[in-house]
Every structure is written in C-alpha cells, then in structure tokens.
Structure 1
C-alpha cells in the first residue's frame, strides 16, 4: 500500500488503543508506544499563522508532503487534476456534439461553480425560477442543511454561478423537456430536482429524501450519481482519449479543480486592474471553493502561477462557451440513465 494509506491506517490503530486506555478497558500504565511532543505550524481560517503541540508516537508512519508547485495534481480532498484550456475546449465540443442537455448543464455547472456532484444533482428546481436573478452578474445560491441541497460535511455555503448561466438554467427549468421529466416522476415545480433522468428519477437522492419514507418508492440502493459517472465513462472518455491518449482520465472532482483555476484567473485580472488586492482575491477564492483554510486555497494559487497553460483561460473559456450554449437546446439525447435503467431492471418492487 502507499505510505499515505499506511499512515492513515496506523493513525486509526493508535487512536483505537488510546480510546481503550481512556475508557480503562486496558491499563493506561501499559507502554504501548513511545510518545513525544511535536510543534506544528498551520494557517488559521483568517490567514494568520498558528502553532500547536501534537502527540507523536514512534509507530507513526511518515508520508510524502502535499503536492509541490510542479505536480500536475492538487490535493483537495484527493488528487485533483485541473484541465488545461485545450482539454476544456475538446470536452465542451464533445458535450455539445452528444446533444444531451442534462449532462451538458450538469458538467458545465461543476466547471463554473466548483460544486461537487452531490450538490449539483440535489439542486431544487424552484431555486432557478427567479427572473430577478437572471439579471444579476453573479448569483449566489445557499446550500447545505435547511436548503434541500446536499453539501459535503453538511456545511452551509453559497454556490456562485454567473448570471448568464443562471438564465440558461432558468430556461431549462421552464422548458417542455424538463416539465415532461417532472411529470414522469410525479413531481411539480415545488418539489422536484432541477435535473431528472428521462424516467423522471433523480440522479442523486438528497439526504432529506433518503430519510423520508415513501411507500411508493422502489426497493434498492439510493441513487448517488451513477448515471453521470456512466455518461463520463461511456460517452466522454472514449472520444477524449482518442484526442489526448489512452492515459487521459476525467473524474467529476477534476472539474472542481478546473473551476478553481478558472476563478483565480478572473481574480488575478482584477488584481492587475487594481480592483482587488491579493488578500481580497485570495479570500474570494477560498469562499468560492468552500475551503476551511487558506492552506488549500494557496495550492490553487501556486498551481496557477507555476503553469503557463492557464493564462487567459477564463476569457477564452467563457467566450467559447457563450458562443456554443444555444446548441445544447437542440436535438437532445435521452440515454443519460442507461446505467440507471439496467439497475432499475434488477430491483424488486416491495410487496404490499
């Protein structure tokens, strides 16, 4: 196993025995390991430098430091690989050629907002009906407990999307295509997800829906975005690998990292124009990415500065996107839940 995995497992073992001693299940006088104090430095959520003392044992396993400036990945809840502009452009072409409105909008939402898949797939449709928001340059959508939108760790944050993209989503929400999917699922504008499969089923069931009993629901595991994963694997990857080689990979989390780099490019231009100072821009990026500390945010800032391929990425990406978005509303595919359909056939309806 990798040293990172070994370090986490050994940490679990150490914590397990510490709890046994705390609960006096085993004697605290038994010398299980040798303990020493270690002073570590970290950055607070406000950007200040803090220090704390932690207990280190002789059983702890050292692991490599987080990615450096020249690493192709960013460590943000896992190894994420931001897509350079050329890969973004081809991805957009493949999406629009596939003519699948829902999948196109889902992936673009992740690219423009840095939202996780579970957050995008649990968006309620009623959040996108406000005509007033369509006139804003930047739209903020509250997410987290109490909003009906799932977030990792149940944190409350704001999703940021451009006003022009909100208008696209509102147009979709009020379209006949979206209405037909809600009708198949027996849902209305008041209680439906923004994105539903062609069977009217959610791509991802929110925590609220999973905790609510429904005697009409079919038995089986809760839906957690498998149809989107299947779309990426079956329709996007083959074409992208033809262009960039068999080693090319694409995961939903890579879109989050790409969104972070796109956002920092916008903020960098604001710094150059003296509309923001560096600390203000850094704080805005942290808020946009939902980072709990500046340490993770700085990984994106340093990554951008170390790679020329991200220069001018924002204007090139949005200009191309705006010129092609209208194509997404014509001749749409309806095979987005092929994998869901196969799973559906294996489920058993509960007896009555």
Structure 2
C-alpha cells in the first residue's frame, strides 16, 4: 500500500500546535509523519523553530505513527549525540522511528561558529558521521580522527533493532552516494524527469528500501487564499534554489531574495490548490514517478483547515487513485 504521510514543519508552527496537528493527522487518516529539524525558519514571517528531538518524543508517545526526522550530523550535532538520540527513541518506540541524514544547510549549522565547508567536504563529513552512528548503534566503541572526531564513545542504551537511517537527497548525485549506506531515500518534489533521475540513481547504485517524496503544498477554500498563504510562508521556494539554499545563513537574506516573488512564480514552486480533486490528481502523478509514498507538507501556519479537508476529501481520493 502506498504510504500517505504528513510532514510537520517546525519552521512555522509552534511545537505545541504542531503536536496537536500530528495527533489530528492520525485521526483524519494519514499513515505516518515526519518532521524538519531546523535551528531557524526560512524567513521572518514563518517565525518559529522548536527543537525537533524533544517534540519527537511527545509525538511518538501520543500517536501510533511511525515518525522520522531530517537531520544533518557533523556540525551543529555531533554524530555520537545523534546516535544516542536515535537509540533512545528506538528503545522507547521500537520500529516506529527513523532518521534521514543529509549534509546540512548553513542557516542551521552556522551557529557553532565553525567554518561552513564546501559541498564535497560536507558530503565526506556526512559519510564519516553515518559510519560513526552505525558503529555506535551496533555496540562498537568508537574512536575516530577525521572530519569528525570521536574519542572512546560507546552507547550504553541500544535498541534490539537499530532504527532505519535514510538518505536525504535533492540531486541524483547525492542519491547515488546515499545508496552505499542508506536504508531508504527521501527527496523533494521536482519535475518528473528530475524525480526519476533521483530514484534511478539511487537504485542503480544498489540503494535498497522505500523511496519517499516530500510535497510542499498550499491549500485553502479559495484560490486567492491559497496563493496568499504560499506567498506569506513559502515565497523563498522559487527565489532560492540549491546550491544557494545550502549556503545562506540568515533568514533575512531569504526574505531579501524572495521579496519580489509573485503568484505565478509561487505556483511553479509548490502545489497551490483550492480544489481537492485536482490536488489529489497532482499528488498521485508525483507518486506515480516511482515512489513508495509521499509526505504532504501544507505550508500554512494554521494546519487545522487542511487536515479537516484531507480527512474528508483528499486522502480518500488519493487512496482510490493509488489503489
């Protein structure tokens, strides 16, 4: 069965409201959830950024969902600390937690004061971090001297079965690299050709496990409202693309670069819809590019109207289309 998941954005929803939202997402019929792990929002109008790992414990304890998080070990987080966090959630909620690991973005990682490395160095650091996390989850005592330094680290609390470590990839090149270590893949929506290249690169390089896609969308009862939500909360999307996205450290810079984004640009950057049937068709088309499921991210600050619509209209239509 195709997984239909709900994405929880810490960047623009306070953690208490986000906890209520993920609980509501379970009630209306979503299958699972995932969340972001940001230090800062993308722009001032988003205005939030709760600590993902605290929230994950509460969300797992108050739903039956499988939950994942997108994380960048190596700078803001030492990988041994991430291994401990992954292990603890794995013990408390067996089989229900996974972590997607990526090379990170300066907007979150610059706060340590360390220099922001170039992409090739970040990719090498990620591989070292993944090796540290896996070795610790396997029960090894880890000492390492490299892009990541570790001294005689051991996890004293470990789950019987380690949680899945998933590759977070935007490009085919990153997906191919992740195939060597990942238990699955998570990417973001793009053109059909781009998404098929990402999946193909992962599979061709030997990647195993499910491939999922995160879909940004703005829904409201009218087209004008949906456009207004998208422009207020997600206007950086069409204005700043990778690799620039990865290297900007200040939300104000995202705001500056996206100041002139208008309705047509925003429609090209995410799904802006007021018609649930058309939104279901668009989502089903993306999943049809070869994904095992999708995590839907409504970019508005108020999640309740979207969740209500999803339960009565969107999810039933999607399940019928994807059956």
Check whether TM > 0.5: no
Which structure has the larger Rg over C-alpha atoms?
Answer: 1
Normalized against structure 1, the TM-score is what? 0.26
From the two aligned structures, give the one with the greater helix fraction: 1
From the two aligned structures, give the one with the greater strand fraction: 2
Greater relative contact order (Cα 8 A, min sep 6): structure 1 or 2? Answer: 1
